[in-house]
A and B are shown apart, each in its own frame.
Chain A
Amino acid sequence: MMMLEKQEVTLEKGLLDFMEKWKDKPGKEIMILHKIQEVYGYVPRKVAMEVSRVMGIPLAKIYGIITFYHLFKLQKPGKNQISVCMGTACYLKGGNDIIQEIEDLIGVAVNTTSEDGHFSLEVVRCVGCCGLAPVMSINGKVYGNVQKSELPKILGEYSGKEANANG
């Protein structure tokens, strides 16, 4: 993940292979952006430019897509990404309180990253575990029936650790 900053625009091998596989398929743009985000954690500007050049997709089109779809990020997220669900079920069961408690605990507001780059916090709409509401996930691992009192313990598991690769 950190490699990129040093190597600037040399695209990661997995991404290049993916681009090769998809290059002739119509409608490839969104799938390629997903791959970029999987590799880098967000869509770095330089990567977007390089992909645009290699694939011949206008940069404006790429940015048009990124800004339309909520899932694509233009900012580098924290090492550990906390996503709190605010779908209907979680909203009714106190998702708001969970967000506030996390904000208080680690001093990160929604859609921002902590100063040390360790955590970022975002709100998502339903991860499909509504029966376990309220739900949150950290680096893709889902926690259900979250109680405010458990949060220090859950977050504690991630402080000091590097993010999982699959983040």
Chain B
Amino acid sequence: MKKYIIVWEPDSQKGSPVNNALLKILNEKQLAEKMEIIRSPFIGFTSSGAILRVMPDNLIYTGFRVEDLEGIVNATLAGDRVDKFISSYDNKFLPVEEKDPLSRQFKIVLRNVGYLDPESIEEYISRGGYKALEKALFELGRDGVIAEMKASGLRGRGGAGFPTGLKWELTKKEAGEIKYAICNADEGDPGAYMDRAVLEGDPHSVVEGMIIGGFAVGCTQGFVYIRAEYPLAIERLEKALKDAREMGLLGKDILGSGFDFDIELRWGAGAFVCGEETALIASIEGKRGNPRPRPPFPSVSGLWEKPTFINNVETWANVPVIIEKGGKWMGSIGTEKSKGTKVFAVTGKVKNPGLVEVPMGTTIREIVYDICGGIKDNKNFKAVQTGGPSGGVIAEKYLDMPVDYESLQSIGSIMGSGGLIVMDEDDCMVDVNKFYLQFSVDESCGKCMPCRIGGKQILEILEKISKGNGEMTDIDKIYSISNAMQKASLCALGQTTPNPVLSSLRYFEDEYLAHIKDKKCYTGKCKDLVQYTVIPEKCIGCGLCATRCPVKCITGEKRKPYLIDTKACIKCGECYNVCKFDAVKRG
């Protein structure tokens, strides 16, 4: 078979020396028949130097010099390899036999996503789908399933991290004939789409997980509460349910076992609070989605007052793998208290935004830099935010923090559902927190005072600070309002609304102080606190800024310093961005 060498070279390496050298070798040795060189503009992880992938041998070379290429070509032709340049990514969190030398990712939840046809139940089955269901029904039995779930150490992926096996056991123990299983597919965290990817890419994994859960706990009916904003996920899930029913995997007498279980969809309608489990239940019941106090917990009195257990999409998608491979297997991946993997939607100012699934314990640095390529446009890292509007920021000094529930909590953030938003030097903490607060205020259901009024008050303080009217006492006010909200709000929405502000105050207090004391926003995001001026010594008078300014408030003569009319300037920052000579000052 013909050999292919795929070449990736960093942009900084001008003129593609590796690619050209390889082509030259091919030419000299007249190898065009036997070997092909393919240039690749994209790479799924970071590398400081050029990197080669030899196909079909599937070898990866790094750390070589141009002089070494001939040796690599010769070895490749001979079906051999040059060991000293073979790359090895060491993934310390995987059990040995599953170690993947080529990347830091490890896909359990996303095992089929992007690989099989989500509309084909045949493909899902052919890749081992519904094997776990069969094992659960005929081998493990109800207690066996729960034992495996507990052994796996799986914790809820929807945010709170409650042990899944225990939740199932508690619901199973409740008296009563009728119980319900619910899948929480409301994915409300703005900037996160893990659940959408799973539902669109592998709906059967969730369906199979739910059937197994329903069997273990003793339910006959399950519901998927899904965002109406995800029409494609709804369509594919409906198809999956229909196909499973036709094959006897869902509905009456599943696989001839005598167990009956069916699943229906209920659509959300754009209320973030309905991701909260008691609000979600109210919404399925066809009511306004107001949370209610717990206890009673849903496991005791949930949907239509029956014992109910709710798990997140990603939690459900883990279930078939746990049942099939065994709880012990899952327990061998990850850290002591956080087992298995976590899917993150990495977005914001990162070079390669996307979905990644990594073993628990992987560091934030590995996710942001090694997998997603680092910060876009060579800007400086500022922070990542996990947990969205209920979470917090992770500052640079914690980049090497491993992701697990406890570590993240210890630094004032949370695991959250998996949104990981990367911010760079251009993002202003006051501005970003205004965004989160506005979100929480919009989404507060208004049922209880601390949340309804407190959120609004913090937002007003932030607005005041960003306009340059902040006072030092405002910071204290934020703390005391936050305290009241955390203590007295009825549900987790209100209790966690202050989190983003508090965590940013913890790590970026100086930015708040710059706004309050110096009346400056160095990122230019708070428009009242920034001025753009031309530095005459640096300006060469090219006139580019003047042509780009949307309000035409920059004037000047070619080759002489230009001038910004600060009164007319709308502070869009365009001049600052386009000037090639750093002659526009922001401050």
Chain A residues close to B by CB (< 8 Å): 26-31, 33-34, 64-65, 68-72, 86-93, 124-131, 133, 140
Using A88-B388, A92-B423, A126-B192 as known contacts, say yes or no to A31 and B287 having CB atoms under 8 A apart. no
Docked CA distance A54–B289 (Å)? 24
Residues of chain B with a CB closer than 8 A to A29's CB: 286-287
- Cβ–Cβ contact B266 & A31, under 8 A: yes
Contacts known (A92-B427, A128-B229); A65 close to B187, Cβ less than 8 A:
no
> How long is the Cα–Cα vector from A129 to B436 in the complex, in angstroms?
19
From A26, A88, A127, B229 is in contact (CB under 8 Å) with A127
Closest to A85 in B: B190
Q: Say yes or no: A88-B421 contact (C-beta < 8 A), given A128-B196, A140-B231.
A: yes
- The contact sample of 21 A-B pairs, CB cut-off 8 A, is A26-B285, A34-B269, A65-B288, A68-B288, A69-B288, A69-B289, A70-B271, A71-B229, A72-B269, A87-B190, A88-B388, A88-B419, A88-B435, A89-B190, A91-B435, A92-B349, A92-B421, A126-B190, A128-B193, A128-B229, A130-B193
Q: Closest CB of chain B to A92's CB: distance in Å?
A: 5
Task: Give the CA-CA distance A120 to B304 in the complex, in Å.
Answer: 39
Q: How far is the CA of A39 from the CA of B309 in the complex (A)?
A: 34
Chain A residues within an 8 Å CB radius of B285: 26-27
- A33, B269: Cβ atoms closer than 8 Å: yes
Categorize the interface residue count of chain B: 35 or more
Best-surrounded residue of A26, A28, A71, A133 (most CB of chain B within 10 A)? A71
Enumerate chain B interface residues (CB-CB to A < 8 A).
187-193, 196, 228-231, 266-272, 283-289, 304, 345, 347-349, 353-355, 385, 388, 419, 421, 423, 427, 432, 435-436, 439, 445
Q: How many contacting A-B pairs (Cβ < 8 A)?
A: 109
> Which of the residues B189, B228, B286 comes within 8 Å of A26, measured between beta carbons?
B286
Shortest beta-carbon contacts, A-B, top 9: A87-B190, A88-B191, A69-B269, A71-B270, A29-B286, A70-B270, A128-B193, A89-B347, A27-B286
**Residues of the B chain whose Cβ atoms lie less than 8 Å from the Cβ of A87:** 190-191
Q: Give A29's nearest chain B residue, CB to CB.
A: B286
Closest to A38 in B: B228
Query: Does A88 lie within 8 Å of B348, measured CB to CB?
Result: yes
Question: B347 and A30: CB pair below 8 A?
Answer: no
Interchain CA distance A90-B419 in the complex, whole Å: 13
Known: A29-B286, A89-B421. A130 touches B269 (CB 8 A): no
Q: Are the C-beta atoms of B289 and A68 separated by less than 8 Å?
A: yes
Q: For residue A64, which residues in chain B have a CB less than 8 angstroms away from its CB?
A: 288
Compute how far the CA of A69 lies from the CA of B162 in the bound complex, rounded to whole angstroms: 28
Q: In this complex, what residue of A is CB-closest to B446?
A: A68
**CB closest chain-A residue, reference B283:** A30
